[in-house]
Amino acid sequence: MSLLGPAEIRDLAELLDVQPTKKLGQNFVIDANTVRRIVKVAAVESGDSVVEIGPGLGSLTLGLLEVGASVVAVEIDTRLATQLPKTVELMHPGAPLTVIAEDALRITELPDAPTRLVANLPYNVSVPVLLHFLEHIPSLQSGVVMVQAEVGHRLAADPGSKVYGSPSAKAAWYGKWRLAGNVSRQVFWPVPNVDSVLVGFEKREVPLGTEEERVATFGIIDAAFQQRRKMLRQALGQLLGSSQAASEQMVRAGIEPTARGEQLTVHDFLAIARAAE
Ligand code: SAM
C-alpha cells in the first residue's frame, strides 16, 4: 500500500479547497519516509489500537493503517474529518478507522481503548492536548508525537535544565519522556518556520497520586513557574496563604524553602502538595 506524497497532498487540498491555516497548525507531512519513521519509532504493531490527534489529510493515518493498527482519529476541521474515510477507503479499503470530528480538547472518552497515541500535533495546542489525553484516556500506555523543537525539549527536560518548566514537571506526572529525533522542515507542506522533533513517552504503570493530588500538585507547579526566578516560599506565598505558610509546608515536605521551582522534580511538587494541613 502506498502513502501520500507531495502531489497527492496538494491534489487533496485542492479537491477540498483547503488553504492550510496557521491557527489550526495545519502543516501536513508530505514525505512517506518520515511517516514510516514515526510509526517505527512509536513501535506500532499489527493489532495495536492507536489514537491520532489531528490526522489532517491522512499522511500519518495511512502509515499507521499500513502496519495493521486500528486508528481512532480526532480532527477539528470538519472538511478534513469528512474526507479522511474516503481517502483511506481509496488507498486501503476496509482499514479499521474511526474518525471523530471534534476539538481534541473536548474529548473525554474514546472507542477502542487506544493504548498508543501517535500524532503530528497542531503546534499551538500541543502541550494542552497531550496533557488532556493523558488525563482523560486511561487506556493510553505510550506514544510518539511530533512537536515544535522547543516544546519537545521542554517536555523531555530534567530539573536543573534551562528549559525545565511547567510542561516538563506536568508531563513527568504521567511518565517518562525522551527526545526521539529531529525532523526537517522540508517534510511539511506548507514549510513551517520552526524546527520539529519527535518525542516519545511511556506512561507510569501506577499513577503517581490521586486525581485530587494531581490537581493540587499542578496548582503548585503553575505557581512555582509563574515566578520562576523567585525562591519557592515567595512564589508559593499567594497560593498557600503567605510566604511563612509556604515555608512551613515546604519544610514539612522536606524541601528547602529557598529552593527554586526549576530544581524540583514532580515528586518534590507532590510532596509539597501532600504536606498541606
Ligand atoms: N497528521 C497530519 C499530518 O501529519 O500531515 C496533520 C498534522 S497538522 C500539524 C495538525 C492537524 O491537527 C491539522 O489537521 C489540524 O486541522 C488539526 N487540529 C488543530 N487543532 C486541533 C484540535 N484542537 N483538535 C483536533 N485537531 C486539531
* Bridge partners for 50 per DSSP: 71, 116
Q: What count of other Cβ atoms lies within 10 Å of the Cβ of residue 10?
A: 15
The closest of 61, 57, 60 to 24, measured between CA atoms, is 57
Mean pLDDT, 10 residues at a time, over the chain (277 residues)? 88 92 95 98 98 98 98 97 96 96 98 98 96 97 98 98 97 98 97 96 96 98 94 96 96 96 97 95
**Interface predicted TM-score (ipTM) of this complex, two decimals:** 0.99
* Bridge partners for 97 per DSSP: 71
User: Rounded CA gap, 192 and 225, in Å?
Assistant: 29
pLDDT of residue 74: 98
Question: How far, in Å, are 26, 28, 235 from residue 80 at the CA level?
Answer: 11, 12, 44
pLDDT of residue 134: 97
* Pocket flag, ligand 1, residue 120 (CB < 6 Å): yes
* Pocket flag, ligand 1, residue 105 (CB < 6 Å): yes
Q: According to the annotation, is 103 in a ligand binding site?
A: yes
- Cell triple for residue 76? 477539528
Ligand 1 atom nearest to 74, measured from its CA = 25
pLDDT of residue 1: 54
* Pocket flag, ligand 1, residue 8 (CB < 6 Å): no
pLDDT of residue 226: 95
* Pocket flag, ligand 1, residue 20 (CB < 6 Å): no
Looking up cell 503548585 gives: 220
In this structure, the residue with its CA closest to atom 8 of ligand 1 is 26
- Cell triple for residue 172? 513527568
Pocket test for ligand 1, best of 59, 76, 78, 132 (most atoms within 8 A of CB): 76
pLDDT of residue 275: 97
**Going from the N-terminus, what domains does the chain have, and what CATH number goes with each?**
6-203 (3.40.50.150), 211-274 (1.10.8.100)
Going from the Cα of 97 to the center of ligand 1, the distance in angstroms, rounded, reads 16
User: Rounded CA gap, 124 and 96, in Å?
Assistant: 29
Going from the Cα of 166 to the center of ligand 1, the distance in angstroms, rounded, reads 24
Q: According to the annotation, is 45 in a ligand binding site?
A: no
- Cell triple for residue 239? 497560593
Going from the Cα of 271 to the center of ligand 1, the distance in angstroms, rounded, reads 37
Contact by Cβ (8 Å): 100, 76: no
Going from the Cα of 99 to the center of ligand 1, the distance in angstroms, rounded, reads 13
* Pocket flag, ligand 1, residue 77 (CB < 6 Å): yes
Contact by Cβ (8 Å): 84, 16: no
The closest of 61, 53, 147 to 104, measured between CA atoms, is 53
Query: What is the edge-to-edge ordering of all strands in the sheet holding 196-203?
Result: 97-101, 70-75, 49-53, 116-120, 142-148, 196-203, 175-183
SS3 of 239, please?
Answer: helix
